Amino acid sequence: MEDTIKIGLCGLGTVGSGVFELLQENADLIRNRIGRNIIVSRVATLDRYDNLGLDLSKTQVSDSVDDILRDPEINIVVELIGGKTIAKKIVLESLQKGKSAVTANKALLAEYTEEIFQAAYRSKGNLGFEASVAGGIPIVRSIKQGFSGDRIDKFMGIVNGTANYILSAMSSEGVDFDQALNDAQKKGYAEADPTFDIEGIDAAHKVIILMALSFNGLFDFSQLYVEGITGIESIDIAIAEESGYAIKLLGCAARTENGYEGKVCPALVDKKNMLAAVTGAFNAVSIWGNFVGETLSYGAGAGSHPTASAVVSDIIETARLMIAGMDNPVPPLNTGIDALTRQDILPMSETESEYYLRIASDNAETSVDDILKILGDAAINLKSMEQKSGSGDLSLQKYLILFTEKSNEEQMQSAIQKLNTLSVVAKPVKMIRVEH
Ligand code: HSE
C-alpha cells in the first residue's frame, strides 16, 4: 500500500471546509497515529472556494462528483453535500464500487435506511456516519464499540443544536424565537432549511439512526412521532423553570414489553437531570445498557469544527481498516446482517408519559371540578396542581398548572379535546410531556 491515502471530498461547505482544515492542520499528528499521510486529492464543489482560506494547491477541484467516483486512486469518498439525490448516488456508487463512504447525511441514512445499509453490508468498503448524529460526540462509535456487549434498553438525548440553542437563549437571555434562530443560523448550526431544526425533523433523522444502532433493527422514519419547538411559549419556559424543570427538544426511544417506542418532542426535564444543564448548541445523549446502566455523552452537536472532527474520525477508522487489509470491514450497524430485521415503532397512542398541562382560565377556581372530572374519567392521576398568574400583558390571565402521573397518550389526547370544549377554558390547553 502506498504511503499516502487519497480521499475525495464532495462538498466544501461548513463541514467540508472544516474537514479540509482539520486534515491540513493535524496532518503530522494523523501521520504519527496511522503511519500514513491522508490527503484530499480531489474536491467536488459547486460553490466558490477561493475565499475559504484553504490551501488547495495539491488538490484537484472540479464541479463533478463523477471525477471523484471514477478516480481509481481514491478509496475513501466523503459525502458532505447534503440532500438526498446526488448524495445518495455518491454513497451508493462508492459502496457498489468497493470504495468506502463517509457521510454526515442523517436525512439520507434515516429516509433510505434499508437501501443504504444493505449496500453497506454487501460492500467491501466501510460506511462511516459518525458525524450524522450529535456532531462532535462519538455516539455512533460508543454504541457500536463501547456498548457492544450491552442490550440497550433506552436512550434520551438532545440531538439538535439549533433547537437547543433557541430554547436556551429564550430561557436565559429572554430573546424571542426568531432572534435566537437567526443567531444559530449565523453561527452555522442550522440546516439549509431551518424548518428541519425547529420542527424536529433533523432530530428525528438522528433518532432513527440511533434506534437502528441501539435496537439492531431498521426503522421506518414515517412511523416516528415528531413534534418541534415552534409551539413553545415563553410562559411555559418560565413556569417550567419555577417548577424545577428546563424545556428541551428530546429524541427518545425505548425497548418495552409491547415493542419499540420512539419520538421527538419538546419535554420538561427535571433540573436534577444533567440533560437540563445542556445549553447552547451542545448535544448530549443518555444511553441505558442492561449492564453498563445509565451513561451520558456530551459535546458540541453542530458547527464546522466539531462535525469535521467526527467525519475525520471515520476517515481515520477507514484508513486503519485499509492498512490492516480487511476485506470485510466491521458491520456498519451494531449487528451482523442475519440478525438485522425490520422493526415497527409503536403508535404514539399506545405509549405512556407524564404530562405538564397549562390551562388558561379566567375563572380557574370554579372550573377545577370540571377539569378534574374529565381527567379522572380518563384515568389520568395528578402529581400536582397549582394556580398561577401570567406576567406582563398576560397578568390578568389565570393558569391552572397540572403535572400528571404516567398516563396513556390516547387518553390524554382525548381528555385535552374535552377540556378544550369547557366554556371556562379560555385557550386551547397547552400540553408538554415530562421525560425522565
Ligand atoms: N442543524 C443541525 C443541528 C446540525 O442544529 O444540530 C447538526 O446536525
Nearest CA to ligand 1 atom 7: 302
CATH class of 4-137+304-337: alpha beta
pLDDT confidence band for 152 (50 / 70 / 90): very high
- Quick one: which of 25, 26, 200 has its CA closest to 106? 200
Q: How many CB atoms lie within 10 A of CB 84?
A: 12
Q: Where are the domains of the chain?
A: 4-137+304-337, 141-300, 348-435
User: Can you spell out the DSSP letters for 169-209?
Assistant: HHHHT---HHHHHHHHHHTT-S-SSTHHHHTSHHHHHHHHH
| Residue 349 near residue 370 (C-beta atoms within 8 A) | no
Mean pLDDT of 185-200: 93
Q: Name the residue of 158, 159, 162 to mutate for ligand 1: max ligand atoms within 8 A of Cβ.
A: 162
| Amino acid in the structure at residue 430 | K
Q: What are all long-range contacts of 56-59, with beta carbons under 8 Å and residues at least 24 apart?
A: 56/20
Cα of 169 vs centre of ligand 1, distance in Å, is 16
Active site (annotated) includes residue 97: no
Record the pTM: 0.96
- Quick one: which of 73, 20, 70 has its CA closest to 45? 20
Cα–Cα distance, 65 to 78 (Å, whole number): 10
pLDDT confidence band for 330 (50 / 70 / 90): confident
Percent of the chain with pLDDT over 90: 86
Backbone angles phi, psi at 268, to 5 degrees: -80, 130
Set 88, 144, 206, 430: catalytic member: 206
Q: Which residues sit with their C-beta closer than 6 Å to ligand 1?
A: 135, 160-162, 189-191, 197, 202, 301-302
Q: Which residues pair with 434 in a beta bridge?
A: 268, 354
pLDDT confidence band for 425 (50 / 70 / 90): confident
Q: Which atom of ligand 1 is nearest to the CA of 206?
A: 8
395, pLDDT greater than 60? no
Q: Grid cell 437540563 — which residue?
A: 276
Q: What is the CATH number of domain 141-300?
A: 3.30.360.10
pLDDT confidence band for 388 (50 / 70 / 90): confident
Mean pLDDT for all residues in the chain: 94
Q: How many CB atoms lie within 10 A of CB 160?
A: 37
Q: Name the residue of 197, 305, 309 to mutate for ligand 1: max ligand atoms within 8 A of Cβ.
A: 197
Same fold, 141-300 and 348-435: no
pLDDT at 396: 53
- Quick one: which of 157, 434, 203, 145 has its CA closest to 295? 157
Mean pLDDT of 345-364: 91
Q: What is the CATH number of domain 348-435?
A: 3.30.70.260
User: Can you spell out the DSSP letters for 153-176?
Assistant: EEEEEE--HHHHHHHHHHHHT---
114-142 tens-digit pLDDT = 999 999 999 999 999 999 999 999 999 99
